[in-house]
Amino acid sequence: MERTFLMIKPDGVQRGLIGKVIQRFEEKGLQLVAAKLVQITMAQAAAHYEEHRDKPFFGELLEYITSGPSFAMIWAGEEIIQVTRAINGKTNPVEAAPGTIRGDYALRKGVNVIHGSDCLESAEKEIANFFTHEELACFLYPADPKEGMTT
Contacting ligand IDP within 78-107 (CB under 6 A): 91
Q: How far is CA 111 from CA 57, 60, 102, in A?
A: 12, 10, 10
| Distance between CA atoms of residues 151 and 137, nearest Å | 21
Size of the site for ligand IDP (CB under 6 A): 9
Contact 123, 117 (CB under 8 A): yes
Q: Does 112 carry a binding-site annotation?
A: yes
> Quick one: 48 or 131, whose CB is closer to ligand IDP?
48
- Shortest reach from residue 142's CB to ligand IDP, in Å: 30
Q: Is 115 annotated in the active site? A: yes
Site for ligand IDP (CB under 6 A): which residue of 4, 70, 84, 112?
112
Among candidate residues 25, 150, 129, 111, the one with its CA nearest the CA of residue 72: 129
Site for ligand IDP (CB under 6 A): which residue of 115, 123, 126, 130?
115
With the CA atoms of 96, 100, 15 and 80 taken in that order, what torsion angle do they form, in degrees rounded to the nearest 10? -110
> Quick one: 36 or 53, whose CB is closer to ligand IDP?
53
Sheet holding 31-38, edge to edge: 31-38, 70-76, 3-8, 114-116
Q: Is 57 in the site for ligand IDP (CB under 6 A)?
A: yes
Residues taking part in catalysis: 115
Provide the binding-site residues for ligand IDP, judged by CB under 6 A: 52, 57, 61, 91, 109-110, 112, 115, 118
